[in-house]
């Protein structure tokens, strides 16, 4: 069975030595001293290691079952869910007015990484609830909030998001689900939704579905979509559960991974729904929390890589095969542990340097969300909106790649179910697809975010990197050569790509759109290069300050050096691809493929 | 259910217009005129499309079962196996002396691609038999050949290769299986082997196991390993089946993919075995056919990519979502087919340009094997030995990547079992692991093959590319700019990497070993760049000659152009990684990972 060790120490390093959250002028952060966060992370870590991780292969093997409309989750899920509730984890960053703990989002993300690493399928149940909570919190009426939020924050009720229909996923303008106005002010919802994660299950007493539907007579396309609350059980005036609503699970999807989460076909058959937010403004309401939702999926991507890496490392330190070419390292044994071999180390460092860079990137993103929200800081809002598709697309592509590399470290054992690596690969795969495929992320980045507010945010990003380098270079030759120089080169590649889009994308948008995916990756590399540079500075400071834990900080520098020397140079190839423009992509006639 | 269309036309193009096999001075090739190969490919294609492909999801779903020592293959496998036998496909390139058809290996590879694309797990049963056949054919005594080969060529008996044990895979020197000499000249084999593909099943009447074991008192390590024939049923003097031997299946591995193939734990309990080849020379005997075996796995890698691409393309031409940014292409429909979108095209062209390049590379490799074998051409033998790890490692890494890209084209549908893409991903994954992990391939390439015969073969490769460019450039500006120039750049990157190894690997081998994996990929890109250049010349010739099928040849040029412009530039990054040397890889202490 796979292992999991909560990386609380590394999280503390990122939060307090790199991001220095305890010094940030963000309301709520003043509570986040190193001791407090460590205590919270330790608790979440224990739950992850002892309760969630052991259930992960169980959930994969058993999956969910549907019988007579009832969905049963795998053995042990209900018990674990109750422990999550009892610990107050579901409302960690929720509004205290509705029973939440009101903690900053950055802490939610740190805790979330551990929950996801240890059991992604399980954690999706509460993840979806959190998304539905956030939409109701932002757009619901006071009455709706009072009716639904306390129980959702508690976890005794759960939530879902219903967007996709068989004929439309990305192109939601084609939605057919209808919402007919009723005399009592409610709507009668009819239609079929697919791929609804946690659409039906036995973990909560009620399920609050958020459903996109069209009210007849409204505008065409996405401008005629509204958002509705459709509870599985209607709620009586006193808050107790009333009659069963006209919504049911029509089937479970058989899929590659995340078997422990029920992916449902949801049938709405004249179900009673309640408009949330404004009529025809459903898309806006559904996507208000998009930055958080997509950051959460980016987190899932690297979190699977993180646990996969831990298992690859344990295997590499234990498995004896062959000898170190420079001399035996385990002369008394039959062979050396495979971590002595350069190609095994290359593979492990590829994983490790991505995972730790990604963690810093995600936490930094979460900090920006806190700043945007809690300080009402427009610059932070603009920056995180720009970076959100990068976090989602890059961290899930590379996170998946990392699980595959980790699987490779185990050789044949990686292909067997026994060792668990293949589950991480199958589970991680979905993160590149849902919450907007990574292709869609790249379109969002290049087609929308780059030019937003006159390109102000991307210019701010470039300025930030430039100032960062200017402020830090010159103090240490090694850091200059190993970190800041490569970062500068990569950042120049990114600027050159942006310039190419400016000069060629205006007259022919396909010149930009053909390079959008590469641009997303280029951007991701620069962000991780920046994070590694920041981590290197923090590690250097600790070493200079006479830390008692030299090994940790030296490992940080060595791991960062690997990223800068061997991952970051990919930016050159990405730029070259982008600069080849639309012709190689658009030339071939669709019928001649 | 996924589709499969046998790519016989593209195969004919590679065989007759690019490789021009009908003009090659290789014994046996004179029979391979375009009509003959087309007829054979058509037949194999029909079997693949109509019999094997429909069984592929069945095999995945049902898997194999073990009950009281008996392994049952999925429903329909036995029937398909009999059709394969009846068609004479199992002995296509086998020695006519033992009932084979004696066709060149290149044809076997072309036919094999279709069998693998349509049902990889099924095709492994005969693939393993072919490997065992080849070893016995090369090293068996006349009596052994007469006893085993005719039935193996027919398929009524099958074969396996038994190498791995629980504590050793790559490092076979650690093998513990014992072979005790008996008075009758046979050996008593005792030990346990794992991950034995097709180790036990119900498709054939007898299973001929080839087993690596150690005779007590022999040299330590790999120098003391011998190879034995251990039939499931002993064979009587008249060729009929005798008593059951002491070998049994102790368990089936639960694994990520290739569920239709039984991966067995094989227990040898004083089983009667017969030495094949010389005592203590078992490694050599087992690996005689290594080039073929590894080329066969490279083929599996891209063949999964090939069928995955076909399904991605069909989806992209059918699925309506969004509008072409330059104007609707399907104005009467609710949306345009997604193939209009640049990022979808990028993804499809990435798949297509790899698959077609890989096909040409594999066929070219097979032609070299034919030349080495049939002409006893040492230069061809040296070249294919050099290229074998590249074919295996690069084509399986990129083949897997292609299946993942194809899955991505389908969005959420790609994650469901219904569409079949996720099976291609799971099945393709093993190709990067077995028959020597890709890390081992890269060590073989850099540690052994580069320096073999004083570096003669790699020099011959560089000379070949150089001459090819010199001979062909100048005739057509477009080909020069789009194909030969990029090839030259990539080839220079490869030479620079080789030079780096020469200059730095001698004094510190880790400088070479840390870059071996990147070198393997760099080499693979140059080979595909060469193949695309050769295909471009052939396509240009057809267009200049007034072909009636302009669309096909124009598509070839456009697809090749994509590869050269957008895949080949990866060589720059790979070179940069290699030139970063051992330090970033070796610096971190094993305990600090």
Residues A93-125 have pLDDT tens digits of 999 999 999 999 999 999 999 999 999 999 999
E strand or H helix at B243, and its extent?
strand B241-244
- Position A288 pLDDT exceeds 90: no
Substitution target in A329, A588, A589, A592 with the highest count of B β-carbons within 10 Å is A588
Tokens of A42: 């330790």
Task: Tell me the per-residue pLDDT of B440-490, one tens digit each, with 9 for 90 and over.
Answer: 999 999 999 999 999 999 999 999 999 999 999 999 999 999 999 999 999
| Assembly ipTM | 0.97
Residues in chain A: 593
Q: Residue B478 class from Cβ within 10 Å (0-12 exposed, 13-18 middle, 19+ buried)?
A: exposed
- Position A73 pLDDT exceeds 90: yes
**A588 touches B at CB < 8 Å:** yes
What residues of chain A lie within 8 A of the CB of B170, using their CB? 321-322, 411
Task: Tell me the per-residue pLDDT of A402-429, one tens digit each, with 9 for 90 and over.
Answer: 999 999 999 999 999 999 999 999 999 9
Rounded to whole angstroms, how far apart are CA atoms A74 and A262? 10
Q: DSSP 3-state assignment of B387? A: helix
**A55 touches B at CB < 8 Å:** no
Helix axes B421-429, A421-429, angle to 10 degrees: 150
Q: pLDDT grade, residue A506 (50/70/90)?
A: confident
* CA angle at A364 for the pair A359 and A367, rounded to the nearest 5°: 130
Rounded to whole angstroms, how far apart are CA atoms A572 and A436? 27
**A167 touches B at CB < 8 Å:** yes
Task: Tell me the per-residue pLDDT of B280-325, one tens digit each, with 9 for 90 and over.
Answer: 999 999 888 888 999 999 999 999 999 999 999 999 999 999 999 9
Reported for A16-19, long-range contacts at CB under 8 A and 24+ positions apart, including other chains, are: A17/A538, A17/A541, A17/A542, A18/A360, A18/A531, A18/A534, A18/A535, A18/A538, A19/A106, A19/A360, A19/A363, A19/A364, A19/A367
Closest by CA position to B565, among listed B575, B555, B553, B557:
B557
Residue-averaged pLDDT of chain B = 97
- Position A467 pLDDT exceeds 90: yes
Fold held by B157-283: Butyryl-CoA Dehydrogenase, subunit A; domain 2 (2.40.110)
Tokens of B559: 């697809």
Task: Tell me the per-residue pLDDT of B119-140, one tens digit each, with 9 for 90 and over.
Answer: 999 999 999 999 999 999 999 9
Task: Tell me the per-residue pLDDT of B81-99, one tens digit each, with 9 for 90 and over.
Answer: 999 999 999 999 999 999 9
Rounded to whole angstroms, how far apart are CA atoms B203 and B207? 10
- Position B350 pLDDT exceeds 90: yes
Beta partners for residue A235, in sequence order: A241
Phi, psi values for residue B231, rounded to 5°: -75, 145
**A510 touches B at CB < 8 Å:** yes
Taking residue A62's Cβ as centre, other Cβ atoms within 10 Å add up to 17
Check: CB of residue A314 under 8 Å from CB of residue A408. Answer: no
Which sign does the torsion angle of CA B564, B570, B576, B581 carry? negative
**B438 touches A at CB < 8 Å:** yes
Rounded to whole angstroms, how far apart are CA atoms A109 and B152? 59
- Position A289 pLDDT exceeds 90: no
SS (H, E, C) A177-209: CEEEECCCCCEEEEEEEEEEECCCCCCCCEEEE
Q: What pLDDT was estimated at residue A531?
A: 98
Residue entry with tokens 């020695």: B95
What residues of chain A lie within 8 A of the CB of B254, using their CB? 416-418
Check: CB of residue A420 under 8 Å from CB of residue A1. Answer: yes
Phi, psi values for residue A103, rounded to 5°: -75, 155
Closest by CA position to B447, among listed B398, B372, B519, B361:
B519
- Position B234 pLDDT exceeds 90: yes
Q: What pLDDT was estimated at residue B366?
A: 98
Question: Is there a contact between A555 and B167 if contact means CB atoms under 8 Å apart?
Answer: no
Determine the CATH number of domain A8-281.
Answer: 2.40.110.20
The number of C-alpha atoms within 13 Å of A571 and in the hemisphere containing its C-beta is 26
Residues 6+ away with beta carbon under 8 Å from B463: none
Which sign does the torsion angle of CA B334, B339, B341, B344 carry? positive
Domain extent listing, chain A: 8-281, 289-326+334-436, 438-583
Closest by CA position to A134, among listed A293, A323, A342:
A293
Check: CB of residue B127 under 8 Å from CB of residue B205. Answer: no
Residue entry with tokens 């996801």: A116
Question: Is there a contact between A572 and B576 if contact means CB atoms under 8 Å apart?
Answer: yes
Determine the CATH number of domain B8-138.
Answer: 1.10.540.10
Task: Tell me the per-residue pLDDT of B174-207, one tens digit each, with 9 for 90 and over.
Answer: 999 999 999 999 999 999 999 999 999 999 999 9
Question: How far is the alpha carbon of B589 from chain A, nearest alpha carbon, in Å?
Answer: 8
Helix axes B516-544, B456-472, angle to 10 degrees: 30
Q: pLDDT grade, residue A30 (50/70/90)?
A: very high
Max CA separation in chain B (angstroms): 84
**Catalytic-residue membership of A43:** no
Q: What pLDDT was estimated at residue B221?
A: 93
- Domain at A289-326+334-436: CATH architecture: Up-down Bundle (1.20)
Q: For a pLDDT cut of 90, what percent of chain A falls above it?
A: 98
Question: Is there a contact between A344 and B439 if contact means CB atoms under 8 Å apart?
Answer: yes
Q: What pLDDT was estimated at residue B589?
A: 95
> Which chain B residue's Cα is nearest to A433?
B411
A168, A411, A555: residue with CB nearest B321:
A168
- Position B220 pLDDT exceeds 90: yes
B341, B412, B434: residue with CB nearest A412:
B434
Tokens of A43: 């608790």
Closest by CA position to B66, among listed B196, B245, B191:
B196
Q: What pLDDT was estimated at residue A88?
A: 95
Q: What pLDDT was estimated at residue B500?
A: 97
Residue-averaged pLDDT of chain A = 97
Question: Is there a contact between A558 and B425 if contact means CB atoms under 8 Å apart?
Answer: no
What residues of chain B lie within 8 A of the CB of A443, using their CB? 343
Check: CB of residue A339 under 8 Å from CB of residue B590. Answer: yes
Q: What pLDDT was estimated at residue B506?
A: 86
Residue entry with tokens 């394969």: B84
The active-site residue out of A17, A292, A422, A435 is A435
Check: CB of residue B442 under 8 Å from CB of residue B460. Answer: no
What residues of chain A lie within 8 A of the CB of B320, using their CB? 167, 171
Helix axes A550-562, A516-544, angle to 10 degrees: 150
Check: CB of residue B255 under 8 Å from CB of residue A415. Answer: yes
* DSSP secondary structure of B304-352: HHHHHHHHHHHHHHH-B-S--TTS-SSTTSSS-BGGGSHHHHHHHHHHH
Rounded to whole angstroms, how far apart are CA atoms A116 and B335? 37
* DSSP secondary structure of A249-303: EEEE--BSS-TTS-EEEEEEEEEEEEEESSTT-HHHHHHTTHHHHHHHHHHHHHH
Q: pLDDT grade, residue A131 (50/70/90)?
A: very high
Q: What pLDDT was estimated at residue B289?
A: 84
Taking residue B184's Cβ as centre, other Cβ atoms within 10 Å add up to 7
**How far, in whole angstroms, is CA A353 from its chain's centroid?**
18
Q: Mean pLDDT, to the nearest integer, of A381-401?
A: 98
Q: Mean pLDDT, to the nearest integer, of B150-161?
A: 98
Taking residue B112's Cβ as centre, other Cβ atoms within 10 Å add up to 26
- Position B3 pLDDT exceeds 90: yes
Residues 68-97 of A with CB under 8 A from B: none
Q: pLDDT grade, residue A287 (50/70/90)?
A: confident
The strand pair at A247-252 and B157-162 is best described as unpaired
- Position A303 pLDDT exceeds 90: yes
Beta partners for residue A160, in sequence order: A209
The active-site residue out of B67, B254, B435, B550 is B435
Rounded to whole angstroms, how far apart are CA atoms B93 and B134? 10
Is B289-436 CATH 1.20.140.10?
A: yes
What residues of chain A lie within 8 A of the CB of B573, using their CB? 569-570, 572-573
Q: What pLDDT was estimated at residue B287?
A: 85
């Amino acid at each position: 069975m796979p292992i999991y060790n909560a990386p609380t120490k590394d999280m503390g390093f990122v939060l307090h030595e790199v991001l220095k959250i305890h010094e940030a002028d963000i309301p709520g952060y003043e509570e986040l001293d190193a001791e407090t966060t460590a205590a919270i992370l330790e608790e979440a870590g224990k739950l992850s290691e002892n309760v969630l991780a052991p259930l992960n292969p169980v959930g994969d093997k058993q999956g969910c079952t549907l019988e007579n409309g009832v969905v049963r989750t795998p053995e042990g899920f209900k018990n674990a869910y109750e422990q999550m509730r009892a610990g107050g984890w579901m409302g960690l960053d929720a509004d205290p007015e509705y029973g939440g703990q009101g903690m900053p989002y950055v802490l939610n993300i740190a805790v979330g990484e551990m929950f996801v690493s240890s059991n992604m399928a399980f954690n999706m149940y509460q993840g979806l609830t959190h998304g539905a909570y956030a939409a109701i919190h932002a757009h619901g009426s006071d009455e709706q909030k009072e009716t639904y939020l306390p129980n959702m924050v508690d976890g005794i009720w759960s939530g879902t998001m219903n967007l996709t229909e068989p004929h439309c996923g990305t192109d939601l303008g084609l939605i057919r689900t209808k919402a007919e106005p009723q005399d009592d002010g409610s709507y009668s919802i009819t239609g079929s939704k697919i791929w609804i994660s946690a659409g039906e299950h036995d973990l909560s007493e009620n399920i609050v579905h958020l459903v996109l539907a069209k009210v007849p007579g409204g505008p065409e396309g996405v401008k005629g979509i509204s958002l509705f609350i459709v509870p599985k059980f209607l709620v009586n005036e006193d808050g107790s559960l009333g009659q069963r609503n006209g919504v049911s699970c029509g089937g479970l999807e058989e899929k590659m991974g995340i078997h422990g989460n029920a992916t449902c076909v949801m049938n709405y058959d004249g179900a009673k729904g309640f408009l949330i937010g404004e009529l025809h403004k459903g898309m806006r309401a559904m996507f208000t929390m998009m930055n958080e939702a997509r950051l959460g999926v980016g987190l899932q991507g690297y979190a699977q890589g993180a646990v996969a890496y831990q298992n690859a490392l344990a295997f590499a330190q234990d498995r004896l095969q062959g000898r170190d070419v420079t001399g035996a390292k385990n002369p008394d044994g039959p062979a050396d542990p495979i971590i002595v071999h350069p190609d095994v180390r290359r593979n492990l460092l590829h994983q490790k340097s991505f995972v730790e860079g990604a963690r810093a990137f995600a936490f930094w993103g979460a900090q920006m969300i806190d700043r945007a929200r809690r300080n009402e800081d427009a610059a932070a809002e603009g920056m995180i909106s720009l970076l959100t598709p990068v976090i989602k697309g890059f961290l899930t592509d590379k996170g998946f790649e990392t699980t595959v590399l980790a699987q490779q470290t185990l050789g044949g054992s990686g292909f067997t179910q026994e060792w668990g690596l293949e589950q991480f690969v199958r589970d991680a795969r979905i993160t590149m697809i849902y919450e907007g495929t990574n292709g869609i992320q790249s379109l969002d980045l290049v087609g929308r975010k780059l030019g937003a507010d006159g390109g102000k945010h991307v210019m701010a990003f470039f300025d930030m990197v430039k100032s960062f380098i200017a402020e830090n270079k010159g103090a240490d030759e090694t850091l200059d050569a190993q970190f800041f120089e490569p970062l500068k080169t990569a950042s120049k590649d990114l600027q050159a790509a942006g310039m190419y889009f400016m000069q060629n994308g205006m007259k022919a948008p396909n010149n930009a759109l053909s390079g959008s995916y590469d641009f997303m990756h280029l951007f991701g590399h620069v962000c991780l290069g920046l994070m590694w540079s920041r981590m290197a500075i923090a590690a250097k400071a600790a070493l200079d300050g006479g830390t008692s834990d030299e090994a940790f900080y030296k490992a940080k520098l060595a791991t960062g050096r690997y990223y800068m020397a061997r991952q970051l140079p990919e930016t050159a190839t990405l730029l070259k691809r982008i600069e080849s423009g639309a012709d190689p992509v658009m030339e071939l006639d669709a019928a001649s493929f």
